[in-house]
């Protein structure tokens, strides 16, 4: 009987969180769509990027946030008593919107995880939940907002349980995360949001040769995932060494991205490396990309996020993975559309250390026909990406090589 009552309780909690956070996520999604459209109509808004950086720093400082730990704070709050202040929600909403409006290279999932986690945890506090229950509702909020933005309820549910501590799934959060995700998905559908989905061409039949080719591509993606993580950390250290003032760092970072944007505009006659780049991902899935796009996107994303602009790394990861996969796949004699899909999910796995999420992500984004290929991509990338990762507060509880408890943090 106690299990049944607990099930009813957490189902109700999940539905409530999914409704509240889902509506916020829907609003955020529409805001981001409008902002992306505006930037497309007025591309020279990018000239204001240094001033945008100053404004974001000012807003965070006025709110009393001097050291924004972003998604790392959300992960830490799930396994500790570290609180998520409610002010994080409007700050990340506005900061991400400004970053995208003025052409910074960033994603949306960082905002989704912080928005959802912050709102859900503070809702839990309002109804007097205890500390352990707050951990669960934080994960449910993460799932709900991620789903509202991307339309991937399965991925969002598994990701929230898997990303915090690699090697230990938080199954106690399964029911609230699932109900929150499904509620948010239903709301986003009712509000007219279209889930992110891609068509994949050239998917081979399962044989030894394409399996080896796919494994080779996944291994290369693991190396690129390490490169991405290392560049992010080196850029952060470089900024800290050069600039001891947050305003100077943000302005300098914005100026650097601005100058590079116009340098590459002279080459491409567009701004393909600014913003989230969903249009570039879509073209990569059709087999079209600039061969060096993944390298430039790594640079733009590092310069943007480590300077203090807001957003996230996952959509840039999709960009880097799909464009690299499209390019490398041609060299490996794989269809560029298929290899872009494998590149996307393999790089995601490498930077997040979440193989189960990566397989489910592939199923939701590309369909179930390629599940065996997604398995190869996730398994190879997870093993060969080592202990690098986007989130320094992510715990690696068990070794990737042996069934051995190591309790390490990501490099």
Domains and CATH numbers, the chain: 2-190 (1.10.3080.10), 208-409 (1.10.3080.10)
Q: What confidence score (pLDDT) does residue 411 get?
A: 77
Q: What are phi and psi of 405, to 5 degrees?
A: -75, 120
Q: What confidence score (pLDDT) does residue 392 get?
A: 82
Return the DSSP state at 284. Answer: H
The token duo for 238 is: 């470089």
Q: Which of 246, 185, 172, 218 is nearest to 15 (CA)?
A: 185
pTM value?
A: 0.95
Q: What confidence score (pLDDT) does residue 408 get?
A: 80
What is the block-wise mean pLDDT of the chain (411 residues), using blocks of 10 residues? 87 95 94 92 94 96 80 79 83 94 89 88 90 92 93 95 87 95 96 92 95 98 98 96 94 97 92 93 95 97 95 93 97 97 98 96 95 98 95 86 83 77
Q: What confidence score (pLDDT) does residue 395 get?
A: 84
Distances (CA, A) of 16 to 119, 176, 180: 12, 10, 7
Pairwise CA distance, residues 94 & 97, whole Å? 5
Contacts of 122 (CB under 8 A, 6+ apart): 84, 86
Q: Which of 280, 286, 292 is nearest to 339 (CA)?
A: 286
Pairwise CA distance, residues 16 & 215, whole Å? 42
Q: What confidence score (pLDDT) does residue 191 get?
A: 94
**Pairing status of strand 165-166 against strand 395-398:** parallel
Contacts of 62 (CB under 8 A, 6+ apart): none
Q: What confidence score (pLDDT) does residue 325 get?
A: 98
Pairwise CA distance, residues 289 & 340, whole Å? 10
């Amino acid at each position: 009987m106690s299990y049944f009552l607990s099930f009813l309780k957490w189902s109700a909690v999940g539905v409530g969180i999914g409704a509240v956070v889902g509506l916020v996520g829907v609003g955020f999604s529409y805001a981001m769509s409008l902002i992306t459209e505006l930037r497309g109509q007025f591309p020279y808004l990018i000239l204001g990027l240094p001033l945008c950086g100053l404004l974001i720093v000012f807003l965070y400082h006025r709110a009393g946030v001097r050291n924004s730990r972003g998604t790392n704070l959300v992960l830490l709050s799930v396994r500790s008593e570290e609180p998520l202040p409610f002010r994080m929600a409007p700050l990340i909403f506005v900061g991400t919107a400004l970053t995208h409006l003025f052409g910074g290279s960033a994603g949306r999932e960082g905002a989704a995880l912080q928005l959802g986690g912050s709102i859900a945890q503070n809702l839990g506090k309002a109804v007097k939940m205890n500390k352990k229950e707050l951990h669960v509702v934080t994960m449910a909020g993460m799932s709900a907002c991620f789903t509202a933005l991307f339309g991937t309820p399965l991925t969002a549910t598994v990701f929230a349980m898997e990303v915090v501590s690699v090697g230990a799934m938080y199954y106690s959060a399964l029911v609230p995360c699932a109900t929150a995700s499904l509620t948010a998905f239903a709301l986003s559908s009712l509000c007219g949001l279209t889930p992110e989905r891609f068509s994949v061409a050239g998917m081979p039949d399962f044989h030894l040769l394409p399996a080896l080719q796919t494994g080779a591509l996944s291994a290369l993606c693991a190396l690129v995932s390490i490169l991405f993580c290392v560049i992010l950390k080196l850029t952060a250290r470089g900024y800290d060494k050069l600039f001891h003032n947050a305003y100077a760092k943000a302005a300098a970072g914005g100026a650097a991205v601005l100058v590079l944007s116009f340098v590459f505009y002279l080459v491409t006659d567009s701004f393909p490396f600014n913003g989230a780049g969903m249009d570039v991902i879509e073209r990569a899935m059709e087999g079209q990309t600039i061969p060096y796009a993944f390298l430039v996107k790594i640079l733009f994303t590092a310069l943007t996020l480590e300077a203090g602009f807001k957003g996230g790394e996952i959509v840039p990861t999709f960009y880097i993975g799909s464009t690299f996969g499209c390019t490398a796949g041609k060299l490996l004699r794989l269809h560029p559309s298929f290899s872009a899909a494998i590149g996307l999910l393999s790089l995601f796995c490498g930077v997040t250390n979440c193989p189960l999420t990566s397989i489910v992500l592939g199923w939701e984004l590309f369909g179930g026909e390629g599940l065996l290929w997604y398995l190869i991509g996730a398994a190879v990338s997870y093993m060969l990406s080592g202990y690098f990762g986007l989130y320094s507060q992510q715990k690696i509880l068990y070794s990737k090589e042996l069934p051995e408890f190591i309790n390490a943090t990501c490099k």
